[in-house]
Every structure is written in structure tokens, then in C-alpha cells.
Amino acid sequence: MHRGKGMKFVGDSRVPADRKPNIPKDYSEFPGKTEAFWPNFLLKEWLVGAVFLIGYLCLTVAHPAPLERVADPTDSGYIPLPDWYFLFLYQLLKYEFASSDFTVIGAVIIPGLAFGALLLAPWLDKGPERRASRRPIASGLMIFGIISTVYLTWESVDHHDWEAAAEQGEMLDEEEEEALEDVDTNAEGYEIYTDQGCISCHGDQLQGTGAAGPSLYDTQYDADMIQEIAVEGIGEMPADQFDGSDEELEVLAEFVSNGGNPGNGGGDSGSEEESEEESSGDNNEENAE
Amino acid sequence: MLQRVYEWVDERLDITPMWRDIADHEVPEHVNPAHHFSAFVYCFGGLTFFITVIQILSGMFLTMYYVPDIVNAYESVRYLQGDVAYGTIVRGMHHWGASLVIVMIFLHTLRVFFTGAYKRPRELNWVVGVLIFFVMLGLGFTGYLLPWDMKAYFATVVGLQIAESVPLVGTLSKTLLSGDPEIIGAQTLTRFFAIHVFFLPGALLGLLAAHFIMIRRQGISGPL
């Protein structure tokens, strides 16, 4: 029974009735310098595997798996990024011809054609020729596919703001976490903070949302300055964000400058001087009262 | 002693043919790096399988600590990473293995493509191989959400948006994956966990078995 070109290099492993004893086929039946898979070749493979494993472990030790802060679905300012092997698709969907009205092209047609062609390659390239150089169309399309994928991945990596990404995902340290719990969400100031939309850029706990708005805890501005910023904007923050009354503005500014607390109670809960465990512990208790 | 145990089993189950199918065959010269150094390109498939085994093992250990719900998922990963002995190594291997396996399967695909090994009579094995590639990408996508940190969550939001943009079946497939047409939350995490730990690995093992049986059946393609 003939089963294709490769068959003459590797034996048919089915065992006929008359060859029941475990005697390997004579090596002379194979052309070239063949080697028994078990155990000779497997030991060499094992060696390659061991070398690979060492490199793999070095990588693991040198770069522990990353972990950002816990998922916060309300954080609308977060710039998302998929794992690197999906970046080509992510980047493709940013181009005009493949986004918004044409999303179907970027999300379905182009990847569908590429992966469909990959899946059906044996039927698209039916000729008997195996050498890559003798089937230029198939090889050319594959090389084009590789180059496009690499290019798109490269562009995506290049466009991404890695510093902002590292900052926006950073885990909160203990001090900040404690401060988070300090925010008095029942305060009048918090209500204004929510109503005026500050919350969408600066977060529900004044923690900031990375790229869109900075944290307001350890803000170095005093209440007067905060009033001014809320009205006139600063840096990337546009003007006229606040449209309430002057009294509300005052309450809001007081609230923010006190690290999410009304009045003078908890004061500078986020400031550096109180980073020692004891004092911040005391501070917490004070706030609770 | 071992020989006698083997013979005892063999007498009843006739395992010698199985043994011959698995291990007793010749490795031809043109794929053996000991004879032609350039034949190292034939290692990529084996290394893909090697990393897959590591992924399965490390994943089994990860599930000893991981809790698939939105309240505890993140904390359990953080605990595993920070407080469990060698937890950071196990998670690190699973994390980096996920990337390495994609690299290796990509290189393996290119080797098979450029040596024309997918041609008659090996078309079916190529198709199974590409399906394994898709399953691997699916494992990468579903596994990315499980730590439930910021990048995990928002990458999944984007991924599901892409799934949703598919005409006709878009919303259906998104609902199937995330458990709700709108919300990406508790249900999404448990579904991704189930897909990542049960559905896709099951499919993967079946496809791998088919892949290997076909290789043994057809042998490695000859030299160019």
C-alpha cells in the first residue's frame, strides 16, 4: 500500500501477525544515516529540551509575571492593550479602512482571509513541488503575511505609550490603599465631585485614572488653587469643567484638598510625612471618628 | 522483574504493538541535527509540545490556589505570587510559556510551510495543526483575563468588542463568551475560566493526539 512520498523514509509501524516479537526493523531498510528514535534520538531531543528549559527558567526568574492593580470596570480612562500576539489585529482595527464603519473588514474579512488561507493552504497550493523557491506564489503570500503581521505588531508597540501604561496599571501601595478607604463618600463634597463629573477622570476614590486624570490625594495645591483649576483647567484638563455655584466650588475644593474629607478632620491623609505605619494607623482612627 | 511484569501485561493486553507505534521507529538523516545542523528547524514542533506539557503542569498547580470569582480572583493571584513558596516561579512559567508556545508554534508552522510538508498526503495533518494554533490563541485570550487585573479586564473588553463586531453571530458569540450581552463581570470570569481550563485543553488534547497519530501513520516528509 503506497501512502505518499515520505513513506519510504520511515517504516510502517503496524505490526503484521508474523512479526510479533519485538524485533526492530533492520536499519538497512532505510536510506541514509538513520537513528533509532528510542532511546538514541530521544536522548538528544531531551538535551535540546533541557537547554531550552534553562533559558526558559532564567527568563522566568529575571522577569516575574506582571500583575497590575485589581480590575476596576468604572475606570474609563484606561488604555487597553491585549497580549503581544494579538497586537497585529488590534493595530489593524485602528486604521481608517478597517475601523468604525468598516470594522467588518478589519475584524472579519482580512483576518478571515488570512487564517482561512492558512487553514486551506494544502488545497490552494496543490502542485507537487515542495521547495519554497519553486512555488513563488505560495511562498510570496506567506512572506507577505509574515511581514504584515510583524509590521502591524511593531507599529502597535511603537504607538503605545508604555510609560503611561505602566503608570495607569500600577498597583497601589499600602499607603494609598489606606488613603482610599479614607474618602468620605457620604460627604457633601463627594456628591458635588460626582455631579460635576470630576469622578469620570479622577476616579471614584480620587485615585486618578492613569492617562485621563491624575490622582488627587497627594495634590500639592491648596483649596484656593483647586477652585481655580476646577474652573480654568490646567495642563490637559480643559477649562469650564465646573458649572455649579460658588458655595459648591468652595466645598468641593475643601473636600479635595483634604484628601476626600470635608472640613479639617483627616487633613493631609495622603502626605508623605505620615507614611510610617503607626502614624497612618492613628490617622485612620481619627478619620473614623 | 520489570521484564516479567511487562510480559505478564503483554500476554493479556498485547501492548507490544502499541509500544512499537509510539517509540520503535527510525529517525531519518535529514531531520537529525546531529547530521545536518540546519535540521534544528525540525525541533520547533517538539518544543511546542514540550511547552504545552509545561503549561498543563504549571496550570494544574495554579488552580490549586486560583479562585475564579471576581472578589477573590485577584487576591488569590496576588497571594500566589507573593506568599506561596515558588508561586512566582510557577505563575512566571505559565505566563512566559503562553508567549513561548505561540512563538514556537509559529516557527513550526513556518517550517512545515516552507518545506512544503503540508502537501499530499499530509493535508489533514496541516489542518489539524492550524486548528491547534487557533486553540492556542483561544487559550491565550481566555487565560489573559483570569488574574482579573486592569490590563486583563480591559484587554478582554476590547477582545469581546471585536467578537461583537462580527455580523450576524457577533452578539451571540459575545454572549456565549461573557455570559451577558452587556456586562463583562462575574459570569465572564467563570466562563473564561471554564473555557480556559476545561473546554480548550480538552479540544487541544484531542487535536494533539490526532496530530501525533497522523505523524506516526505517515512518517516525516522526505528531504527536499
| Residue B50 cell numbers, joined | 514540550
Residue of A2, A5, A7, A10 to mutate, interface with B, max B Cβ within 10 Å: A10
With a cut of 90, say whether residue A246 has pLDDT above it. Answer: no
Superfamily of domain B26-218: Cytochrome Bc1 Complex; Chain C (1.20.810.10)
Task: Yes or no: say if B138 and B159 are a contact pair by the CB < 8 Å rule.
Answer: no
**What contacts A188, CB < 8 A, 6 or more positions away?**
A251, A255, A262
Residues of B in contact with A53 (CB under 8 A): 50
With a cut of 80, say whether residue A13 has pLDDT above it. Answer: no
Does residue A59 sit at the B interface (CB-CB below 8 Å)?
yes
Task: Yes or no: say if A128 and B103 are a contact pair by the CB < 8 Å rule.
Answer: no
With a cut of 60, say whether residue A264 has pLDDT above it. Answer: no
Range with the poorest average pLDDT among A124-133, A204-213, B80-89: A204-213
What are the domain boundaries of chain B?
Answer: 26-218
Query: Which of A198-207, B113-122, B131-140, B207-216 shows the highest mean pLDDT?
Result: B131-140
- The closest of B195, B198, B199, B193 to B68, measured between CA atoms, is B193
With a cut of 60, say whether residue A272 has pLDDT above it. Answer: no
Give me the residue from A30, A36, A82 closest to B155, CB to CB. A82
Question: What pLDDT digit, counting tens, does each position of B17-63 carry?
Answer: 777 778 878 888 888 898 889 999 999 999 999 999 999 999 999 99
DSSP B222: -
With a cut of 70, say whether residue A248 has pLDDT above it. Answer: yes
How would residue A27 be classed by pLDDT, with cut points 50, 70 and 90? low
Does residue A55 sit at the B interface (CB-CB below 8 Å)?
no
| Residue B150 cell numbers, joined | 486592569
Rg (CA), chain A: 32
Task: Yes or no: say if A255 and A187 are a contact pair by the CB < 8 Å rule.
Answer: yes
pLDDT at A185: 77
List helix spans (H) across B63-165.
73-82, 87-114, 123-145, 150-164
Q: Do A83 and B113 touch (CB under 8 A)?
A: no
- B222 CA to centre of own chain: 27
Residues of A in contact with B57 (CB under 8 A): none
Q: How many CA atoms are closer than 13 Å to the CA of B176, on its beta-carbon side? A: 8
| Residue A80 cell numbers, joined | 487597553
Phi, psi of A199 (to 5 degrees): -60, -30
- B140 CA to centre of own chain: 9
Range with the poorest average pLDDT among A61-75, A239-253, B86-100, B188-202: A239-253
H or E element at residue B27: strand B26-27
Closest residue, chain B, to A136 (C-alpha):
B114
With a cut of 90, say whether residue A114 has pLDDT above it. Answer: yes
pLDDT at A177: 62
Question: What pLDDT digit, counting tens, does each position of B155-207 carry?
Answer: 999 999 999 988 889 899 999 999 998 899 999 999 999 999 999 999 999 99
pLDDT at A29: 62
Give the mean model confidence (pLDDT) for residues A107-129. 93
Q: Do A35 and B34 touch (CB under 8 A)?
A: yes
pLDDT at A181: 62
Question: Between residues B196 and A245, which one has the greater pLDDT?
Answer: B196
**How far is it, in rounded angstroms, from Cα B65 to Cα B81?**
10
pLDDT at A7: 42
Which residues 124-183 of A have a C-beta within 8 angstroms of B? Answer: 125-126, 128-132, 135, 138-139, 142, 146, 168-169
| Residue A174 cell numbers, joined | 499600602
Question: What pLDDT digit, counting tens, does each position of A201-239 carry?
Answer: 887 777 777 667 777 766 778 888 888 888 888 877 888
Mean pLDDT over each residue of chain B, to the nearest integer: 93
Q: Do B219 and A49 touch (CB under 8 A)?
A: no
Quick check: helix, strand or coil at residue B183?
coil
Task: Yes or no: say if A47 and B80 are a contact pair by the CB < 8 Å rule.
Answer: no
DSSP B92: H
Give the mean model confidence (pLDDT) for residues A57-65. 95
Task: Yes or no: say if B63 and B55 are a contact pair by the CB < 8 Å rule.
Answer: no
Cβ neighbour number for residue A186 with a 10 Å cutoff: 9
Give the CA angle between residues A58, A63, A64 to the nearest 5°. 110
Sign of CA dihedral A249, A250, A253, A256: negative
Query: Look-up: residue for cell 469620570?
Result: A200
Question: Between residues B173 and A6, which one has the greater pLDDT?
Answer: B173
Phi, psi of A234 (to 5 degrees): -160, 140
| Residue A198 cell numbers, joined | 470630576
| Residue A111 cell numbers, joined | 483576518
Return the percentage of chain B with pLDDT > 70, whole number. 100
Mean pLDDT over each residue of chain A, to the nearest integer: 78
- The closest of A1, A131, A13 to B214, measured between CA atoms, is A13
Range with the poorest average pLDDT among A162-166, A192-196, A207-211: A207-211
pLDDT at A28: 58
pLDDT at A266: 42
- The closest of A273, A269, A266 to A289, measured between CA atoms, is A266
Question: Between residues A218 and B73, which one has the greater pLDDT?
Answer: B73
Cβ neighbour number for residue A10 with a 10 Å cutoff: 22
Task: Yes or no: say if A248 and A227 are a contact pair by the CB < 8 Å rule.
Answer: no
Give the mean model confidence (pLDDT) for residues A92-120. 90
Residue type, B115: T
pLDDT at B189: 96
How would residue A269 be classed by pLDDT, with cut points 50, 70 and 90? very low
Question: Between residues A94 and A213, which one has the greater pLDDT?
Answer: A94
**How far is it, in rounded angstroms, from Cα B80 to Cα B92?**
11
Closest residue, chain A, to B94 (C-alpha):
A65
Question: What pLDDT digit, counting tens, does each position of A35-47 carry?
Answer: 888 888 999 999 9
ipTM above 0.95, yes or no: no
